Amino acid sequence: MTLKDGKTGMVLKIVKIHESDLKQRMMTMGLIPGTKVTVLRSAPLGDPIAIGVRSYNLALRKADADRIEVQQVS
């Protein structure tokens, strides 16, 4: 499952970030394996999605969220 597939309210744990041009940037923003994230909401047309990471909110394009492999926690 990828972060793109997450639904509003889901708590997910990052398993792996696949190679992309933004991998290093995403890791700098706290998206590292083992981190729990919460899917907060998505834009009216579904792109981007808002997630809660640690103590802040982050918006990601679905194309970037598709590069992040996650597993559901609750």
The pair of three-digit structure tokens given for residue 15, joined into one six-digit string:
């398993």
Tens-place pLDDT, residues 39-58: 999 888 878 999 999 889 99
pTM listed for this prediction: 0.86
Read off the CATH number of the domain in which 31 is found. Answer: 2.30.30.90
pLDDT digits (tens, 9 = 90+) for 2-13: 999 999 999 999
Per-residue pLDDT tens for 16-41? 999 988 899 989 988 999 999 999 99
CA angle 18, 21, 26 (to 5 degrees): 65
CB atoms within 10 A of CB 38: 17
Q: Determine the structural domain holding residue 20 and report its residue range.
A: 3-72
Tell me how many domains the chain contains. 1
